[in-house]
Structure 1
Amino acid sequence: METYIVDSFTTEPFKGNPAGVCFPQQEIGAEAMLKIAQEFGLSETAFVRETSAAGVYAIRYFSPKQEIPLCGHATLAAAKVLFSQTLHTEIHFLTHEQVDLPISRRADDITMTFPVYDTVPVAAPPALLAALGLPAVTNTAYSPKNKIVLLEIADDQQLAALRPDFAALLQSHTGINGVLVTAPGRTPAYDYDYHYRYFWPWAGTNEDPVTGGVQTFLAKYWATRLHKSVMQAFQSSARTGAMQVELHADKVLLTSQARIVLEGRLVAFA
């Protein structure tokens, strides 16, 4: 099985978010995909197969814990590999939930078109805030589609300095996939509209280095507050990463780059 590791949402190797990308030559089951994702040990691994339609590929995503409906950085990683092998400037991914994801490239930039989801008000449990080290938040919301709690705080430097207690965090809430903490971009050294970090020990790893899938609701959240439709987003994890987001009525366009850092063959799998 042809395999790759690709660093997404970055122009530099060993920055951004590494994703595994696998190209099975025949159908393999979800259990085998999960075992392979566990072997990679990355936040997500994408499995890509050609369909009968030209330029259309079926894609599935697995964390080391479970299948994930939609993943931004693994989509970008898979697109980077496919664009490096063909002359195509546009392809489509079809997810396991039959969501069509148009992907285009222009030079080294890759643009992904994702759906947009709404958020609803929610109260954050005090234990959740304590586990994150947050004495207070500016606003709280919830994405029902993604099962993610959103917490807005005022200071992007406080966001970068967060050191959650992940054991306590896991015990502080049930029935969610993760918690996203975000802040407006106010540090002069960075030219970004908003910053964010994503913690998801419930469904994946402790922290996702750079997360594109959350823009399905985060872009609309900040567009409403900033009165902007085109914004620059920065994920202030240890590896860091960035992307441009462009909000339309029912879709969001994510533009960034990726670097292939490893290619090889998986010779044993279930």
Structure 2
Amino acid sequence: MTTNAPRPEVLRYTAFSSDPGGGNPAGVVLDAAGLGDGDMLGIAAELGYSETAFLTAGPKERAYGIRYFSPKAEVPFCGHATIATAVALAERIGPGELVFATRAGTVPVEVEVESAEGEEDRAVRATLTSVEPHVAEIADGDVAEALAALGWPAGDLDPAFAPRVAFAGARHLVLAAATRARLADLAYDFARLEALMHRLDLTTLQLVWRESATVFHVRDPFPVGGVVEDPATGAAAAAFGAYARELGLVPPDAVLTLHQGEDLGRPGELTVTLRAGDPRVRVSGTGARIG
């Protein structure tokens, strides 16, 4: 539903980079009271970023309701827009703990200012804690269809990484490339992949290549959001952390570094932290306002 509410201020922040030219841009509306679904979708479409976050006041101080819209649809959870929103709030109310009530569940966020020699060099870092994740198998036929849409031969997959659907607030299909060159060569059938993703209720594909034991490069096609590729994807990073732990690819206690956006000219870095005994996944990164 669209309303006649006054147009709110729309802020622009990048997440997973302290450089406004890196990471993933997000729109941030700190006061979305009175906006209908049509208003929010219209703002997100006009802005054109992969997601825009819309906040409403919560039941207590530093607690908020939050919704996320891509240019085409609402998504239940968006990691990079959460990080961007937390950085925007920290600049106004100071660092510390925040709580976001998302459609996927409650997501706590901790914001801190990293120490540096000069005031101008200090970066704001936010760490979100995901909802409880889970990992599910996927039918061979669906994997074959995804590969056909990508134009990837099955032999180009890394056999150590079984295809799975991973969830940590949104559903992502994890596929691992055997080489960095395979990951870099991404030119897919937009309509075909979009149709498959709608059928499987996927938000993105999490395409990964393992550089070392704890360092990965990732890319995320996002046709269901009307975006060819997401430059940095916090929700998928959380899902991938759960996937890597579930399949025994990393220890129960681990800190993973995910590089994303390099192939788009918007490099970003996502830190994924796993803790033994806690199923939830922590994803952290810096953010910066886009002038």
1:218/1:259 CA distance change after superposition, 3 Å: same
Residue 149 of structure 1 corresponds to 173
Partner of 2:121: none
Instruction: Go from structure 1 to structure 2 and tell me whether the alpha carbon gap of 1:82 and 1:111 turns closer, same or farther (over 3 Å shift).
Output: same
> Per residue, is there more helix in 1 or in 2?
2
**What is the CA–CA distance in structure 1 between the aligned matches of 2:15 and 2:249, rounded to whole Å?**
27
**Aligned pair count?**
258
Match of 1:246 in 2: 273
SS at match of 1:214: helix
Aligned residue number for residue 202 of structure 1? 224
Could you tell me how far 1:198 is from its partner in structure 2? Answer: 1.0
* d(CA) in 1 for partners of 2:105, 2:192: 36
In structure 1, what is the Cα distance between the partners aligned to 2:283 and 2:84? 13
Task: State the partner residue of 2:135.
Answer: 119
Which residue number in structure 2 is paired with residue 140 of structure 1? 163
Moved more, 213-222 or 169-178: 169-178
Deviation at 1:167, TM superposition (A): 3.3
Asked if the contact 2:107–2:131 (Cα under 8 Å) also holds between the matched residues in 1, the reply is no
| Cα distance change, pair 234–34 in 1 and its aligned pair in 2 (3 A) | same
Q: Is the 8 A contact 2:76 2:103 kept in 1?
A: yes
**What secondary structure is seen at the aligned counterpart in 2 of 1:77?**
helix
Distance 1:100 1:179, change over 3 A: closer
TM-score (structure 2 length as normaliser): 0.81
Question: Could you state the TM-score of these two structures normalised by the residue count of structure 1?
Answer: 0.87
Alpha-carbon displacement from aligned partner over 1:57-101 (angstroms, at most 9, x marks no partner): 111100111111110110011111110112242221121344232
Larger displacement relative to structure 2 (165-174 or 236-245): 165-174
One of 149, 158, 162 as aligned partner of 1:131: 149
CA distance in 2: counterparts of 1:240 and 1:88, whole angstroms: 25
Name the % identity.
30
* 1:30 to 2:37 alignment: yes
**Which residues of 2 match residues 1-270 of structure 1 at below 5 A?**
1-24=8-31, 26-107=33-114, 108-122=124-138, 123=140, 124-136=142-154, 137=157, 138=159, 139-143=162-166, 146-171=170-195, 174-177=199-202, 178-186=204-212, 193-223=215-245, 224-227=248-251, 229-236=254-261, 237-238=263-264, 239-248=266-275, 249-262=278-291
Note if contact 2:17-2:23 (Cα within 8 Å) is conserved in structure 1.
yes
Shift of 1:129: 0.8
Farther-moved stretch of structure 1 (84-93 vs 72-81): 84-93
Query: Are the equivalent residues in 2 in contact too, given 1:176–1:202 (CA < 8 A)?
Result: no
Cα shift readout 1:111-133 (whole Å, capped 9, x = no counterpart): 11112412122224434212213
Report the CA distance shift for 1:125/1:25 in structure 2 as closer, same or farther (over 3 A): closer
